[in-house]
Amino acid sequence: MTQKTEFFIIDFDRTLADSDKLLEAFIEVTTEYIAIPREQIEAANRDVRQRGDSFDTAGYVRDHLNEMDRGEEWDTLEKEFIHRLRARLPELLLAGASELLEWLRARGSSYGILTYGNPLWQHMKLSATGFNHEQRIVMEHKHKGRLISSWQQSDGSFVLPQEFGGGVADAIVMLDDKAVSFEDFPAVPSRGYWICDPMHELPSQRGTVPANVQRCNTLSDALATLRH
């Protein structure tokens, strides 16, 4: 009998990376480089967050520069953001993030990053954290489970998209902090880990997950379970 192959799908924001710190760093660079009040960015961010969406911070700032006829300054800002964050990288990742990827590589497991949000901002964050070298897909809607299920064939296997290497897997293992990501997620043998600490839960993370998805407080807890 051949071994069943699993493909691991890992979320980026609030699963691998500390998204609050990434946003804070971007606001820092932005307020330093261009005359846009911090309060203005924070207020816009808050409005969108309350609706449960990801705020397109980068797009907001880029539009602002364009409106002021200073669009050419965007490249400098983007480069400075990536440069500065790379210098302080370990603290921008959540506990267990590097260990998880090391564990996957060591056991020869295939994996990819599946992230939801505005492409401009997502790519900037992925570059700043060095994940632009990993297999990745940026989606503009939050229905990850539905997307993954669409790869499933009548024999139960999954034909992976080119961005994830284009191979075939028998099961998907997904780690994500948002319950909504697991809507329409495929059944066993696929499984998931919903990484969300009830003590610090955000409205956008809340919800119910299917029975083959286990709740873990932290990424380190999920990794401990995976290793078991």
Residue 186, helix vs strand vs coil: coil
Output the smallest distance, CB 108 to Mg ion, in A. 26
CB-nearer residue toward Mg ion: 11 or 18: 11
Output the smallest distance, CB 177 to Mg ion, in A. 4
Output the smallest distance, CB 126 to Mg ion, in A. 13
Output the smallest distance, CB 95 to Mg ion, in A. 15
> What's the N-to-C CA distance of the chain in angstroms?
23
Taking the C-alpha atoms of residue 179 and residue 201, their distance in angstroms, rounded to an integer, is 11
- Continuous H helices in 4-157: 19-33, 38-50, 57-67, 74-87, 97-106, 119-128, 144-149
> Nearest to Mg ion by Cβ — which residue?
13
Residue 53 CA: distances (Å) to CA of 29, 45, 63, 86, 184: 23, 10, 19, 26, 20
CB-nearer residue toward Mg ion: 65 or 173: 173
CB-nearer residue toward Mg ion: 78 or 177: 177
For Mg ion, the binding residues (CB under 5 A) are 11, 13-14, 177
CB-nearer residue toward Mg ion: 32 or 197: 197
